[in-house]
């Protein structure tokens, strides 16, 4: 029994000992795979970040990024204040009748422009003509009584001087004259009231402006000071626009308005083009505590009628103009963890990040206070895919990159590319040099900012606008595949 147990223990120990080399080998293989995977990841990261053996435009790395560029330049930047406003008429009047009666005439057309004092409607005047005649008749009667009383008073005074009449009768007659004078004065007022009511039978326009939709028709009976009135009239030339100014900017706006006239523009819905221009009028005398703003008003001539009462509009007040500022397209400005920056294009078509300080902006441009100089070329589109030191490619340069690669491959490759339409031949290079010399001014005028193939395409598109020398050079420039060149 003991020998059998010893044999079993020896056999089991041999099996474990025989498996141990395979386990060690498997562990070594797994460690090797892990080390190789870590090395591959590091090399891949270096390649993507522009390190040795990788980067934009390098062999085995990512290709150059196609971007659009523009040059920084000098320009005048307006300092503006934008707001949303409401068109408000200078005067809005509900034309109401001032006497009662039947409408006999409507003398306006809905939507018509009318002048102040123009008759809009006529109320039947006959009852008021009768009232005037009655008042005039009573005035005539009382004036006759007054004249007779004055004559009697004069006779009484003569008799009193002869001591032929009592003074009491003279005083009584003098009082009668005073009473009749008051009656005549009342009669004259009644005549004036009757004439005024008669004039009110012709309803006139109180201001210059446009009338709206009429509220009555011929034959309707209207009452004095009827709430609905006859028509609503609005004065639209000139016209005002009310908007709000933030309370923090109210002192600045008030100070600038006191120094001179501030131009105000009303813009279309897209804020791209002005509809009309006017001048700043005034600020309100208090701040609205619910919004923290101050109401303001601007006036516009509105001779063409582009502004309509109660219309919502975009308002832009020009507060100042910054002269000779360094500007760049607004799309070139980007914001990162460290603030604003732009991508600068170097002569070797690589990019570098440069921090800038932004200033006043417009819908298309931004003033750069520091970090940018006139002539610097900045990336306007495609900057989201760029990294520091990465290579770029302008639109239309794909074929030129291929030709540069063929030229770098050797003389035989360059010759083959020329024969197949790749690299330009010496004749074509000479013609291109002559073209650039003859068309330099035309390129700067018609194709500002374009280079290389883009400049050539632009010149051909505007050939009819170029100078005579440039047109002759264009005619001599051979096209690809058009001849031996």
Predicted local confidence at residue 446, as pLDDT: 67
Structural tokens at position 107: 């003398």
Q: Could you tell me where the beta strands, DSSP code E, fall in 330-449?
A: 334-336, 339-345, 351-355, 357-361, 365-370, 377-381, 392-393
Instruction: Of 22-36, 89-103, 371-385, give the lowest mean pLDDT range.
Output: 22-36
CB 262 within 8 A of CB 246: no
Task: Please indicate whether residue 25 or residue 1 has the higher confidence score (pLDDT).
Answer: 25
Give the pLDDT mean for 450-459: 68
Give the pLDDT mean for 66-76: 89
Predicted local confidence at residue 410, as pLDDT: 40
Cβ-in-10-Å burial (0-12, 13-18, 19+) of 9 comes to: exposed
pLDDT digits (tens, 9 = 90+) for 106-160: 999 999 999 999 999 999 999 999 999 999 999 999 999 999 999 999 999 998 8
Band of the pLDDT at 426, cuts 50, 70, 90?
low
Phi/psi at 181 (5° precision) = -65, -40
Res 417 pLDDT > 50: no
Res 482 pLDDT > 80: no
Short-list 3, 72, 77, 67, CA closest to 350: 67
pLDDT digits (tens, 9 = 90+) for 365-405: 899 999 899 989 999 988 888 888 888 888 766 554 444 44
- Taking CA atoms, 457 is separated from 12, 64, 67, 397, 461, in Å, by 86, 22, 18, 12, 6
Distance CA 478, CA 266 (A): 52
pTM of this structure: 0.57
As separate numbers, helices (DSSP H) first and strands (DSSP E) second, the chain gives 10, 23
Cβ-in-10-Å burial (0-12, 13-18, 19+) of 84 comes to: exposed
Phi/psi at 352 (5° precision) = -140, 145
Instruction: Of 46-60, 315-329, 460-474, give the lowest mean pLDDT range.
Output: 46-60
Give the pLDDT mean for 78-96: 92
CB 340 within 8 A of CB 334: yes
Cα distance from N-terminal residue to C-terminal residue, the chain: 105
Predicted local confidence at residue 403, as pLDDT: 47
Residue 433: CB atoms within 10 Å? 11
Band of the pLDDT at 353, cuts 50, 70, 90?
very high
CB 203 within 8 A of CB 119: yes
**Tokens 């056999």 correspond to what residue?**
11
Res 248 pLDDT > 70: yes
Structural tokens at position 60: 């085995």
Q: Where are the alpha helices (DSSP H) in 49-125?
A: none
């Amino acid at each position: 029994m003991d020998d059998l147990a010893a044999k079993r223990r020896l056999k089991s120990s041999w099996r474990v000992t025989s498996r141990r080399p395979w386990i060690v080998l498997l562990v070594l293989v797994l460690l090797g795979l892990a080390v190789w995977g870590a090395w591959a990841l590091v090399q891949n990261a270096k390649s993507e970040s522009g390190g040795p053996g990788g980067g934009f435009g390098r062999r085995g790395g990512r290709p150059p990024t196609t971007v659009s560029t523009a040059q920084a330049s000098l320009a005048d930047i307006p300092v503006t204040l934008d707001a949303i406003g409401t068109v408000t008429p200078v005067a809005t009047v509900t034309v109401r009748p001032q006497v009662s009666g039947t409408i006999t005439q409507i003398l306006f057309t809905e939507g018509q422009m009318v002048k102040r004092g123009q008759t809009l409607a006529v109320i039947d005047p006959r009852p008021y003509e009768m009232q005037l005649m009655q008042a005039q008749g009573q005035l005539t009667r009382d004036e006759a009584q007054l004249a007779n009383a004055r004559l009697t008073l004069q006779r009484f005074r003569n008799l009193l001087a002869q001591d032929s009449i009592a003074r009491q009768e003279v005083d009584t007659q003098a009082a009668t004259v005073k009473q009749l004078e008051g009656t005549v004065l009342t009669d004259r007022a009644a005549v004036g009231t009757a004439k005024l009511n008669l004039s009110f039978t012709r309803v006139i326009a109180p201001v210059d402006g446009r009338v709206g939709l009429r509220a009555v028709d011929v034959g309707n009976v209207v009452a004095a000071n009827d709430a609905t009135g006859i028509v609503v009239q609005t004065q639209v030339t000139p016209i005002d626009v009310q908007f709000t100014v933030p309370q923090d900017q109210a002192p600045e706006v008030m100070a600038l308005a006191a120094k001179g006239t501030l131009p105000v523009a009303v813009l279309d819905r897209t804020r791209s083009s002005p509809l009309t221009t006017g001048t700043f009028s005034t600020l309100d005398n208090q701040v609205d505590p619910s919004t923290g703003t101050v109401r303001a008003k601007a006036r516009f001539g509105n001779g063409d009628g582009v502004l309509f009462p109660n219309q919502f509009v975009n308002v832009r007040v020009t507060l100042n103009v910054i002269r000779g500022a360094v500007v760049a397209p607004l799309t070139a400005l980007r914001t990162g963890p460290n603030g604003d920056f732009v991508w600068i294009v170097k002569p070797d078509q690589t990019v570098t990040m440069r921090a800038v300080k932004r200033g006043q902006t417009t819908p298309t441009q931004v003033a750069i206070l520091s970090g940018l100089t006139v002539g610097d070329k900045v990336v306007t589109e495609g900057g989201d895919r760029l990294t520091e030191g990465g290579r770029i490619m302008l639109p239309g340069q794909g074929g030129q990159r291929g030709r540069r690669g063929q030229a770098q491959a050797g003389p035989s490759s360059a010759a083959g590319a020329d024969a197949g339409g790749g690299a330009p031949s010496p004749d074509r290079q000479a013609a291109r040099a002559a073209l650039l010399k003859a068309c330099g001014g035309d390129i700067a005028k018609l194709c500002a900012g374009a280079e290389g193939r883009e400049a050539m395409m632009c010149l051909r598109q505007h050939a009819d606008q170029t100078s005579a020398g440039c047109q002759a050079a264009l005619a001599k420039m051979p096209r690809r595949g058009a001849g031996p060149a």
